[in-house]
Amino acid sequence: MTPAQTLIVFALLLGGAVVAVIYFISSQLRSLKTDLGGKGSDPALLELLKDMRGSVDKSSESMDRRLKDQRDSMDRQNKILGERLDNAARVIGDVQKNLGGLEKFGRDVEDLAHVLKSPKLRGGLGEQLLYEILTNYLPKDLYQIQYKFRDGAVCDAVIFLDKGIIPVDSKFSMENFKMMVSADGDIDKAAAKKEFIKDVKKRIDEIADKYILPGEGTTDWAVMYIPSENSFYELTVNTPEVADYAQKRSVFLTSPNTFTYFVKTVMVAHRQNELAEHAGEILAALSGIRTEAAKFDTELGVLDGHIVRTSKAMDNVRGKFGKLFGKIEAVQALEGDEPGPQVPLLEE
C-alpha cells in the first residue's frame, strides 16, 4: 500500500470514529432529555447539556477542518505523485529507446565478431593498423607497403634506412592463442600452449627465411608485428622460449605500442642522419659568419679609436672653454677700475 492510500484509510477511520462519538453523545443527550422531561427541568443540568453540546459542535467543526486539511494535503500529494509518475514514465521511455539502440549496437558488434572470425579478414585488419602507424609517424619516402622481393615474396611493409631495408610483417595466428586461453584444465592448456608456441616459431621462421635478404639490401634482422597487446604479453612474459627463439632468428617481436615507439626511434635516427649529411654546409656557414664577425670586430675597433680621440678633443675644448670663462669673470670683476694691461683671452 502506498503512503497516499494509507493516509486516505487513516482519514476515513478517523472521520468514522468522530461521527460515531458525535452520534453517541447526541443519542445520550436525547435520552437524558427524555428522562428529565417528566421530572421538570433543572437549570443547572440544562446549562451543562448546552455546554456539552457546544463542545461537541466545536469538536465536530475542528475535526471537519482537520479532515479538509487532510484531504487538501492528500490532493497535493496525489498531484506530486502523479507528476513523479509522469516523469518516471518519460525516463523509462527514454531508457527503453536507449536500450533499443544498445541492442542494435550489440548486434552490430556481434556481426563484426562473426566477420572477424575469418583469419583472412582479421589478418587484413592487423595489416591496416600496421599501415596507419607507419603513415602517422614516418614520411612517405621512408617506408613502402606490400614490398615485393625478387623471388616474388611480398612483405607487409619495409622501412628504408641508410644501413638497409627493415622488413616488417604481420604474420600471427590468433586461433591457437584463443584455444590456449580458453582451454579447460591443465592438460588441455599445456597441449594448446605447445601448439601455440609451435605455430609462433613457424611464423618466425617464415619471416626470417623469406624477408631477411641482405643480398637485396635488407638488414640482417626483421620485425614481426603482433596486432594484439595480450598476445604480445603472453609471448614475451609467459613464454620466454618464444622470445629467445625469435632473438636467435634475428626477428624483433613488436606489439602496436612497441612498434609505435620503434617507428618514432627510426624517425629520430633519420633526422640525425639528415643533420649529419648537412653538417659540412652548416660548418661552412658558421665559418662565413665567423669571418664576417672578425671584419665587424676590426671595424668596431677603428670606430672605437675614433670615439676615444673625439672624446679627448672634447675634453681639451671643455678645458679651454673653462679657462676662457674664468678670464671673462675676472674682467667683469675689474669693471669700474682703471684699465690695466690687456690680458690675452686665450693662451697661445
What pLDDT, on a 0 to 100 scale, did the predictor assign at position 248?
94
Which has the higher per-residue pLDDT, 274 or 239?
A: 239
What pLDDT, on a 0 to 100 scale, did the predictor assign at position 156?
92
Which has the higher per-residue pLDDT, 195 or 324?
A: 195
Cβ contact 145:131 at 8 Å:
yes
What pLDDT, on a 0 to 100 scale, did the predictor assign at position 111?
47
What pLDDT, on a 0 to 100 scale, did the predictor assign at position 120?
46
Tell me the pLDDT band of 347, cut-offs 50, 70 and 90. very low
Q: Rounded distance, CA 236 to CA 224, Å?
A: 13
Flag whether pLDDT at 42 surpasses 60: no
DSSP string, 183-222: --SHHHHHHHHHHHHHHHHHHHHHHHHHH--GGGTB-S-E
Average pLDDT over residues 312-339: 70
Cβ contact 235:254 at 8 Å:
no
CA distances to 84, 229, 268, 300 from 80, rounded to whole Å, are 6, 55, 68, 92
What pLDDT, on a 0 to 100 scale, did the predictor assign at position 113?
45
Best CA proximity match to 130, nearest among 161, 87, 168, 166: 168
Opening angle at CA 273, ends 270 and 279, nearest 5: 145
Best CA proximity match to 208, nearest among 169, 237, 164: 169
For 97-143, the pLDDT digits (tens) are 777 666 665 555 454 444 344 444 444 566 788 889 999 999 999 99
Q: Rounded distance, CA 192 to CA 96, Å?
A: 43
Torsions phi, psi for 192 (to 5 deg): -65, -40
Statement: 118-277 belongs to CATH 1.25.40: no
Flag whether pLDDT at 4 surpasses 60: no
Handedness of CA 311, 317, 321, 327 (dihedral sign): positive
Cβ contact 258:229 at 8 Å:
no
User: For residue 256, what is the enclosing H or E element?
Assistant: helix 256-277
Query: Do strands 222-225 and 251-254 pair parallel, antiparallel, or not at all (unpaired)?
Result: parallel
> Burial code of 211-221, b = ≥16 C-beta within 10 A, e = fewer?
bbbeeeebbeb
Strands across the sheet with 164-169, in order? 143-148, 154-161, 164-169, 222-225, 251-254
CA distances to 15, 28, 34 from 25, rounded to whole Å, are 15, 5, 14
DSSP string, 95-141: HHHHHHHHHHHHHHHHHHHHHHTSHHHHHHHHHHHHHHHHHHHS-GG
Q: Rounded distance, CA 173 to CA 119, Å?
A: 8
Best CA proximity match to 266, nearest among 164, 127, 155: 164
Provide the β-strand partners of residue 159: 143, 166
Cβ contact 130:225 at 8 Å:
yes
Query: Do strands 143-148 and 154-161 pair parallel, antiparallel, or not at all (unpaired)?
Result: antiparallel
